[in-house]
Amino acid sequence: MSVTRPRGTNDVLPDQSYKWQIVEAKIREICHNFGYQELRTPIFEHTELFERGIGETTDIVEKEMYTFIDRGNRSMTLRPEGTAPVVRAFLENKLYAQAMPAKVYYLGAMFRYERPQAGRYRQFTQFGVEALGSSDPMLDVEMITLPIKVYQACGLEGFKVHINSIGCPDCRPAYRKALQDKFLAQQEAFCMTCQGRIERNPLRVLDCKVKECQSLLADIPLVTESLCKNCGDHFAQVRTYLDQLDVKYVINPKLVRGFDYYTKTVFEIIVPTLGSQNAIGGGGRYDGLVAECGGEPQPAVGFAVGLERVLLSLAQKETTVFQAPKPDLFLAQFGGATKDVAIALAHKLRDQGLWVELDYMGKSLRAQMKVANKLNCLGVIVIGEDEVAQNRAKLRKMSTSEEIEIDLNHVEQVEQAVVKLREGQVLA
Ligand code: HAM
C-alpha cells in the first residue's frame, strides 16, 4: 500500500518551514504592536455555526465544507474560516465583559473543498485579526494597514488594495432589488447556481467565478450609489484615514466577497502576478454577525491573510528576509572517549543556545567533515585522543578554513568564536 497526501494538501518540508516560522514571528510581533492577542479556537465546530454565520447561499456553505457526522450523531464541520468561530468564542467566553473592543488574532489551518490549483488548497493556513465592539472607521483602516505591515515586513511588494462598501440592512434591500430586477431581465444567461441566487441572494451573483456570469455584470447598478447616509459617511471616513496614512487603494464597486456576514466596508488585497488565485488577504466589517450568532448586537471588523499565497508571492522574487538557518558547530570525534567528550561539550553548548551537530552514524572523520559541509555548519571542532588528553582542540571556520585553538573546558571561548562565525568575522 502506498499512501499519498490527500489532494489539495501540502507537506511543509524543513527547507521551507523556517520561512513559515519567520513569517509567523513577524505576524506575532506586528499583532503585538497593534495590541491584538492570540485566540485559539477548535479546528471543528458545530456545522450550524457556519451555516448561520457565513450564509446558506455562499459557495462555502453550498459546496465547500468538510462536514461529517460524529459518533454522537452531531453534524460537525472543519472550520472553513475563522471569523464565525471567533464570534462564537467571544460570546461563549463573555469577552465583551473585558476591555472593548475585543482585539484578537489567529493563525491556523482552514479547510475548504475547492478545486485545487496553484495557490488554492483544501487545507490552507490563515492569519486573521478581528476587533469586536466598535464601529469606528479607524478600525476598518487598521484592518487594512495591519496586513500591509506584515506584507512589507516580509519584503512583499506590488500588491493592490481594493475596497468597497456594501451597505447595511437599511440601504442594501433597495440595492438588492435593483440588482435582482436587472438580473431577472436576462435570468437564463446565468449559470444554474446563479439563477437560483438571483431570487435568494442576488449580491452573491457578483461573486460568481463562472466567466459567462462575470461577463453579464458590465452595466449593473453600483452599490456605492445607493448607500444610506450613515454608510456613505462611514465609507468616506475610511477613505480619508487611508489617504491620511498614504495607503494607496482602488475603489472596486463590484467587490462583495464570499460571505453573507459583511456590512459596510469590504476589501481585498491582490498580487496581480499570482495568477487566478491572486487574493493574498481580504476582510471587512460584519456589524450583524454577533447578533446573528445569538449575542447582543456588536459592530465588528476583521480580515484574514492566506499564508501559502504570501509565501508563493515571496518565492517569485529575491528576498533577504529568508536566510536559511545554519548549524553553529559540528563536533567531529573518533568514538570511545572522544565521543563522550563531544557529547558532554555539545550538551553544554546547546544549553548556551548554540546549534550543535554530532555524528549519529558512526562515520569516519572524512565522512563527518562531508556531513558538516552538507549541513552548512559554520564551524567544526575535531575531538581526537590528543585533544582529549590536553583538553585543547582546533575550531575550524568552514568558509575560509581558518583555525584557532580553544580550551575544551572553556565553553565561553567557544561561544565567543561562534559569535564571530555567525557574523562572518575572522576568528583570530
Ligand atoms: P477569505 O477571503 O475567504 O476571507 O480568505 C482570506 C484569505 O485566505 C484569502 O485572501 C486567501 O489569501 C486565503 N484563502 C482562501 N481560500 C483559500 C484556499 N482554498 N487556498 C489557499 N488560500 C486560501 C475569510 O476567510 C474571512 N474570514 C476574512 C475575514 C476576517 N473577514 C472578516 N474577518
Verify whether ligand 1 is closer than 6 Å to residue 85 (CB atom).
no
Query: Which residue's CA is the nearest one to ligand 1's atom 21?
Result: 120
Q: What is the mean pLDDT of residues 231-240?
A: 98
Q: Give the per-residue pLDDT at 220.
A: 92
- Cβ atoms 45, 79 nearer than 8 A: yes
**Unique residue bearing C-alpha cell 462564537:** 88
Q: Is the shortest distance between the CB of 274 and ligand 1 below 6 Å?
A: no
CA distances from 217 to 167, 183, 253, 310, 344 (A): 19, 9, 11, 30, 71
Cell numbers of 143, please? 484592518
Pocket flag, ligand 1, residue 284 (CB < 6 Å): yes
Report residue 316's pLDDT band, with 50, 70 and 90 as the boundaries. confident
Residue 229: per-residue pLDDT: 97
273-291: average pLDDT = 95
* pLDDT tens string 50-101: 999 998 888 899 999 999 999 999 999 999 999 999 999 999 999 999 999 9
pLDDT attached to residue 90? 98
Look at ligand 1, atom 13, and give the residue with the nearest C-alpha.
306
Mean pLDDT of 133-160: 97
pTM of the model: 0.94
Beta bridge partners, 358, equal: 331
Pick the more confident residue, 73 or 258: 73
Q: Residue 130: beta bridge partners?
A: 104, 302
- Has residue 294 got a pLDDT over 90? yes
In the prediction, which pLDDT does 1 show?
73
CA of 147 to the centre of ligand 1 (A): 13
Ligand 1 centroid to residue 257 C-alpha, Å: 10
List, edge to edge, every strand of the sheet that includes 160-165: 37-38, 102-111, 123-132, 300-306, 279-285, 263-270, 160-165, 250-251
Q: What is the pLDDT, as a whole number, of residue 37?
A: 98
Q: For residue 71, what pLDDT is reported? A: 98
Mean pLDDT of the chain: 95
Cα of 20 vs centre of ligand 1, distance in Å, is: 18
Averaged pLDDT for residues 339-349: 97
For residue 41, report the distance from its CA to the centre of ligand 1, in Å.
17
Using the mean position of ligand 1's atoms as its centre, give its distance from the Cα of residue 407 in Å: 55
Domains belonging to the chain, first-starting first, are 14-171+227-315 (3.30.930.10), 329-419 (3.40.50.800)
Q: What is the pLDDT of residue 320?
A: 81
Q: Which of 124, 143, 159 to mutate to test the pocket of ligand 1 (most atoms within 8 A of CB)?
A: 124
Cα distance between residue 273 and residue 313, in whole Å: 8
| pLDDT value of position 207 | 83
CB 80 less than 6 A from any atom of ligand 1? no
Q: Tens of pLDDT along 159-168? A: 999 999 999 9
